[in-house]
Amino acid sequence: MRPVSSWGRLSADPHHVIELTDRDRVAAELTGATTAGIAHGLGKSYGDASLNPQGILWSTRGLDRLIAFDSASGRLTCETGVVLRDIQRLMIPRGWSLAVVPGTQLVTVGGAIANDVHGKNHHVVGAFGDHVRRLRLVRSDGETIECGPDLKPELFAATIGGLGLTGVIVEAELQLRPTSGPWLEAETLTFEGLEDFFALSDESEAGWEHTVAWIDCTSGKAVRGLFMRGRPTPATGSGWRERRRRLPLTPPVSLVNGLSLKPFNSLYYSVNRRRTGLRVVHYEPFLYPLDSILDWNRLYGPSGFFQYQSVVPRAAGLEATRDMLDAIQRSGQGSFLAVLKTFGHRAAAGLLSFPQPGVTLALDFRNSRALPELFSRLDDIVRAAGGRLYPAKDARMPRALYEATYPNLAAFARHRDPGMSSAMSRRLMGT
Ligand SMILES: Cc1cc2nc3c(=O)[nH]c(=O)nc-3n(C[C@H](O)[C@H](O)[C@H](O)COP(=O)(O)OP(=O)(O)OC[C@H]3O[C@@H](n4cnc5c(N)ncnc54)[C@H](O)[C@@H]3O)c2cc1C
């Protein structure tokens, strides 16, 4: 048994961690288990999706082999503990790229599938599951099942975004996209007001593969922000060298607090507004800026932090986003990292996938006693607007909200593996 935390560091309960290292022995490991367990990738989910206190975690980090690559079609077959960054660094110089990578590359293929993750290019390519062609799934009774969009499609749809609850995925075949190389033409624009944000999104979606905005959530009703957009370019930028820093220790209290929020947001805004204009940049710092500071989650101190990520349909997006920002500002809570992005119209591949057409807002909050009241207010706004919350970021959504906003739950339940259970599944589904 050893303590395991997720990215939000809200708990560190003991878990019985079993390292999976041989994909042909996973069935034997699962059938040998006397209690339910859950797969665990790199633990980058913020809440309890990959936690199972006092129970089994099947760690997939040792399932890290690439199995086959067809350079004519761009099909890559790999084990599911492979980290997305390793695929990108190997494949991009060869002219191929993963279609979808989230805001950190430091996640596993299995984690990316089980949360059907999205990137800054959702409006162009959809989510991770849209590019999975085949999965090999091991169930807790030892059965190994192959599935894909055209092979056992219902089980496949349950497994994409299925939070690890249909079995342990040991192998995946991914369709990569051709790429011109590691450079992006990028532009940062300032905006004032949510109308401006939506106008910039609409204007950018046709010509820019990656779009995302940072907003100063302390700026009140006339919200100000930075709109960032990027697209692949064959041009070459000036050399990029990876620089990694690590937060050396956990401060005794959160460094994100009422005193630091406003100055930090103002500083971030004024530094970055000077960087507006077109540049050629390497894809890593542009797409995954936080990956250069390892363990930045310690900034929030020993009590950890929550992320609240919602999506609401576009028609209600302006008003709902304004209401949420207003409620956050009035509560005195706030976020260093408030991110706003529009999703595209593609129907999700998974029964429980989070993305839906609309606008997604993500904010971090230090753990404090004021949060339940604020979250309850935000939940009401999201629900009334026809939206939902993202389980990958969640540690507290009430079960009633989950049931009301994920209409495919009953269809999903038919494919659940009874030997798979997590703290999240018990909280949101009862088992
Ligand atoms: C800084 C940061 C930025 C982020 N940005 C984004 C973003 O832009 N977009 C986005 O969508 N997400 C984002 N995320 C969330 C992250 O992409 C997801 O939580 C992802 O699932 C984490 O992958 P992991 O390998 O760490 O999996 P874990 O967190 O360990 O597990 C996640 C889920 O996958 C299941 N799982 C893992 N491996 C397997 C397997 N082999 N078989 C079956 N189930 C499995 C687990 O049971 C669990 O339910 C971000 C996270 C961080 C920390």
Residue 289 neighbours by CB under 8 Å, 6+ apart: none
Nearest CA to ligand 1 atom 53: 44
Ligand 1 lined by 41 (C-beta under 6 Å): yes
Helices (H) and strands (E) in the chain, counts: 13, 21
pLDDT confidence of residue 240: 80
Instruction: Give the domain extent around 388.
Output: 183-396
What does the pLDDT profile of the chain (431 residues) look like in tens digits? 999 999 999 999 999 999 999 999 999 999 999 999 999 999 999 999 999 999 999 999 999 999 999 999 999 999 999 999 999 999 999 999 999 999 999 999 999 999 999 999 999 999 999 999 999 999 999 999 999 999 999 999 999 999 999 999 999 999 999 999 999 999 999 999 999 999 999 999 999 999 999 999 888 777 899 999 999 999 988 878 888 788 878 888 888 888 788 888 888 888 887 777 899 999 999 999 888 888 889 989 999 999 999 999 999 999 999 999 999 988 988 888 899 999 999 999 999 999 999 999 999 999 999 999 999 999 999 999 999 999 999 999 999 999 999 999 999 999 999 999 999 999 999 99
44/109 Cα distance (integer angstroms) = 12
Predicted local confidence at residue 376, as pLDDT: 98
Pocket lining: 44 vs ligand 1, CB cutoff 6 Å: yes
As a whole number of angstroms, the distance between CA 227 and CA 153 comes to 38
Among protein residues, the one whose CA lies closest to atom 44 of ligand 1? 164
**Ligand 1 atom at shortest distance from the alpha carbon of 49:** 49
Return the half-sphere exposure (C-beta side, CA atoms, 13 A cut-off) of residue 2: 7
Residues 6+ apart with CB under 8 A from 325: 215, 217, 221, 223
Ligand 1, atom 40: closest residue by C-alpha: 110
The answer to whether the beta carbons of residues 54 and 13 sit under 8 Å apart is yes
Would you tell me how many other CB atoms lie within 10 Å of the CB of residue 83?
A: 19
Residue 118: inside a domain = no
Q: Is 211 in the pocket of ligand 1 (CB under 6 A)?
A: no
* Ligand 1 pocket mutation pick from 10, 45, 86 by most atoms within 8 angstroms of CB: 45
CA 246, 250, 255, 257: dihedral to nearest 10 degrees?
A: 130
Does the beta carbon of 40 lie inside 6 Å of ligand 1?
Answer: yes
Which pair of tokens denotes residue 141? 């009774």
Cα 25 to Cα 158: distance, rounded to the nearest angstrom: 24
List the structure tokens of 297. Answer: 């989650």
Tokens of 186: 């990028």
Rounded-to-integer distance, Cα 58 and Cα 40, Å: 6
Give the alpha-carbon dihedral of 48, 52, 54, 60, to 10 degrees.
-120
- H/E stretch holding 31 reads helix 26-31
Q: Is 163 within a domain?
A: no
In-domain check, residue 292 = yes
- Residue-wise pLDDT for 328-380, tens only, equals 988 988 888 899 999 999 999 999 999 999 999 999 999 999 999 999 999 99
Instruction: Check if the beta carbon of residue 341 is closer than 8 Å to that of residue 195.
Output: no
For the CA of 112, the closest atom of ligand 1 is 21
Residue bearing tokens 């299995």:
110
Element (H, E) at 307: strand 305-312
Q: Is 5 in the pocket of ligand 1 (CB under 6 A)?
A: no
d(CA 237, CA 185): 9
- 88 close to ligand 1 (CB < 6 Angstrom): no
Length of the chain: 431
Cα 77 to Cα 68: distance, rounded to the nearest angstrom: 5
Please state, as a whole number, how many other Cβ atoms lie within 10 Å of the Cβ of residue 49.
28
What is the Å distance from ligand 1's center to 216 Cα? 26
CA dist., res. 312 & res. 388, Å (int):
7
Domain count, the chain: 1
Between the CA of residue 305 and those of 218, 257, 378, what are the distances in Å? Answer: 18, 11, 17
**Ligand 1: does its nearest atom lie under 6 Å from the Cβ of 169?**
yes
**pLDDT score, position 191:** 95
Q: Is the CB of 281 under 6 A from ligand 1?
A: no
78 lies in a domain? no
42 within some domain: no
What is the Å distance from ligand 1's center to 115 Cα?
6
Residue where the block lists tokens 């009422």: 258
Whether 421 is in a domain gets the answer: no
Distance between Cα 410 and ligand 1 center (Å): 23
Q: Give the Cα separation of 419 and 211 in Å (integer).
A: 40
Query: Does residue 22 sit within a domain?
Result: no
pLDDT at residue number 332? 86
- Residue 319 domain-assigned? yes
Rounded-to-integer distance, Cα 102 and Cα 290, Å: 11
Query: What phi, psi does 410 have (nearest 5°)?
Result: -65, -40
Check which CATH number belongs to the domain holding 391 and give it. Answer: 3.30.70.2520
Q: 43 CB under 6 A from ligand 1? A: yes
CA dihedral 175, 178, 181, 185 (to 10 degrees): -100
